[in-house]
């Protein structure tokens, strides 16, 4: 069963999500989408379809991302990381399960990396398309022109006709946070099972980002490189491989 749900974050904003509720489950999954995506984005939709019949699976839009409350221009990764707690609170308040698995993709992997060690309710952590150094990550999300616009105007405006983000403004504070958040420090504090999956042809280099993060992490941990895959594991065969590894890891 697929159900539309909502819950409040700590700042009183309403977050909207889609909850996949199978007939039987002992595991809950919270999926953190990338940037600028949302609860119905490409990766979120595939996670729901692939895992939702097996696990209680929540995909939601972070605050400041439609249809959740908050202006897009005020988005911050630290606010997204804080939203994860509200999503987990919602599941624990309304359902019973044995373990909770946190999955983050791309910028969602940044959020999940920063958050996981702060919440003992997170049983296992899965990161796809993850980064190790946020100073490098800024160049994956923003072009040189956009960075120049941040410095000149204090914001950028997206020009992506046909996409929901077209015409949306984003303040420089989002870019500035890339240089203040410490993923290595956070991942070193995480003490439970970790799976990192990376595409060989990802625009985010697997060896200096995903694998570098893996080397810093505590055991038990596993790193899987998907041969030929891009950032979103777009090819059906590559995605099937990702899903099989996730299911095996969840147990």
Instruction: Render pLDDT for 166-175 as a digit per residue (tens, 0 to 9).
Output: 999 999 999 9
User: According to the model, what pLDDT value does residue 182 have?
Assistant: 97
The segments of the chain whose pLDDT lies below 50 read none
Nearest one of 160, 159, 219 to 194, comparing CA atoms: 219
**150 domain-assigned:** no
**93 domain-assigned:** yes
**164 domain-assigned:** no
> At which residue do the structure tokens 């359902």 appear?
95
User: According to the model, what pLDDT value does residue 31 have?
Assistant: 99
3-state secondary structure of 104: strand
User: According to the model, what pLDDT value does residue 56 have?
Assistant: 98
**234 domain-assigned:** yes
How many residues in total does the chain contain?
A: 251
User: According to the model, what pLDDT value does residue 165 have?
Assistant: 96
User: According to the model, what pLDDT value does residue 27 have?
Assistant: 98
At 65, which CATH number?
3.40.50.1820
User: According to the model, what pLDDT value does residue 52 have?
Assistant: 98
Instruction: List the domain range (segments joined by +) for residue 100.
Output: 2-137+182-250
User: According to the model, what pLDDT value does residue 10 have?
Assistant: 98
**9 domain-assigned:** yes
User: According to the model, what pLDDT value does residue 167 have?
Assistant: 97
End-to-end CA distance of the chain: 22
**105 domain-assigned:** yes
Tally the domains of the chain: 1
**36 domain-assigned:** yes
How far, in Å, are 14, 77, 106, 188 from residue 174 at the CA level? 21, 7, 15, 24
**235 domain-assigned:** yes
List, in sequence order, every beta strand (DSSP E) within the chain: 2-8, 14-20, 27-32, 56-60, 99-105, 124-128, 155-157, 169-171, 194-199, 221-226
User: According to the model, what pLDDT value does residue 178 have?
Assistant: 95
């Amino acid at each position: 069963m697929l159900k539309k749900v909502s819950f409040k974050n700590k700042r009183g904003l309403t977050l909207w999500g889609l909850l996949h509720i199978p007939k039987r489950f002992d595991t809950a999954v919270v999926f953190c989408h990338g940037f600028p995506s949302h609860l119905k984005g490409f990766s979120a939709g595939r996670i729901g379809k692939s895992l939702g019949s097996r696990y209680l699976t929540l995909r939601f839009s972070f605050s400041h991302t439609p249809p959740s409350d908050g202006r897009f221009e005020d988005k911050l990764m630290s606010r997204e990381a804080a939203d994860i707690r509200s999503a987990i609170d919602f599941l624990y308040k309304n359902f019973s399960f044995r373990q909770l698995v946190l999955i983050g993709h791309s910028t969602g992997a940044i959020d999940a990396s920063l958050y996981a060690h702060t919440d003992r309710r997170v049983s296992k952590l899965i990161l796809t398309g993850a980064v190790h150094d946020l100073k490098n990550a800024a160049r994956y999300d923003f072009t040189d022109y956009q960075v120049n616009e941040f410095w000149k105007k204090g914001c950028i405006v997206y020009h992506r006709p046909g996409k929901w983000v077209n015409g949306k403004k984003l303040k420089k504070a989002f870019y500035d946070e890339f240089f203040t958040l410490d993923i290595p420090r956070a991942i070193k504090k995480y003490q439970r099972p970790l799976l990192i999956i990376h595409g060989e042809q990802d625009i985010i280099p697997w060896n200096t980002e995903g694998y570098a993060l893996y080397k810093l992490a505590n055991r038990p941990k596993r790193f899987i490189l998907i041969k030929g895959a891009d950032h979103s594991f777009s090819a059906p065969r590559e995605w099937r491989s990702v899903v099989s590894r996730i299911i095996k890891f969840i147990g």
